[in-house]
Amino acid sequence: CRCCSEGRRHSSILYSILRSQEERAAPAAGPAPRGCPCGSRRRVALRSPQVACKAASAVLVKTLRFVQNVPCFQELPLEEQLLLVRSCWAPLLLLGLAQERVHLETVESAEPSMLQRILTARQHGERPPAPAPGRPHHGPHPPSAGDIQAIKGFLAKCWSLDISTKEYAYLKGTVLFNPDLPGLQCTQYIEGLQREAQQALNEHIRLIHRGDEARFAKLNVVLSLLRSINANVVAELFFRPIIGAVNMDDMLLEMLCAKL
């Protein structure tokens, strides 16, 4: 009928109008814009390095004291203890910072870009610096904005989950007892301890968070975030501004053998 045909005609017109408005509003066809990676490579520093480094040092001492008070850890030979602590001090420290709710305030550093260094070198008749493949250099690696964002993202994830003291303890146990490290002699024993820590975490969640079946998986996501954070970045951020060129192996050995 005429009404139906008119309705279809008006619907077709309305559709074409809306379509044309969408096309005008939409960006021109072409490859999607890609974010410039320069922002994630910007150098940043702690706003108050003395305050943050003091807090991190206190958390590291508290963390190693926690580790030393684990009876099954004390049963391991000293060489095994040191090997475990050397491999996981950074993730243990970050878990401690999250547990203590230590917030990081950062500012951009004034380090010149590669282009600025090249132009400055040419202006003074010097040879422009040649970037090495992969890593810029083999010396100290100041944390970039991307490095800091990864640490802040990890802390925010922990705080959003409102992790309890027991959950932090089980997470630390899972990180500490890593049987996959090369050079370990008590591999089966350490693997059993890691498995016990995961089982204890799962049982605690089922007892306390009965309605949250995904919480165990969420806490394991926290562990995966930890693995993406480089220990050298943690050392550069929290210890170099105060201690200088710190050798973390020597410091950990000294702290582990001392009565904390």
| C-alpha distances out from residue 14 to 2, 7, 24, 33, 126, Å | 18, 10, 15, 31, 67
Average pLDDT, the chain: 77
* pLDDT mean over 150-160: 95
Q: What is the pLDDT of residue 152?
A: 93
Average the pLDDT over 169-191 and give the result: 94
Provide the whole-model pTM.
Answer: 0.71
Distance CA 49, CA 120 (A): 29
> DSSP for 94-128?
HHHHHHTT----EEE--PPPHHHHHHHHHHTTPPP
Helix (H, G, I), strand (E, B) or coil at 252: helix
Task: Return d(Cα 152, Cα 2) in angstroms, integer.
Answer: 65
87-130 confidence digits (pLDDT tens): 999 999 999 999 999 988 877 765 555 565 566 555 556 555 55
> Rounded to whole angstroms, how far apart are CA atoms 85 and 92?
9
Architecture of the domain made up of 48-107+141-258:
Orthogonal Bundle (1.10)
Q: What integer pLDDT is reported at residue 167 of this predicted model?
A: 97
Q: Is the predicted pLDDT of residue 56 greater than 80, yes or no?
A: yes
67-79 residue pLDDT tens: 989 999 999 998 9
Q: Which of 11-15, 180-184, 250-254 has the lowest mean pLDDT?
A: 11-15
Q: Which of the residue ranges 163-167, 182-186, 243-247 would you say has the lowest mean pLDDT?
A: 243-247
Higher pLDDT, 260 or 143: 143
Q: What value does the mean pLDDT take over residues 25-32? A: 42
Cβ burial 124-134 (10 Å sphere, 16+ → b, else e): eeeeeeeeeee
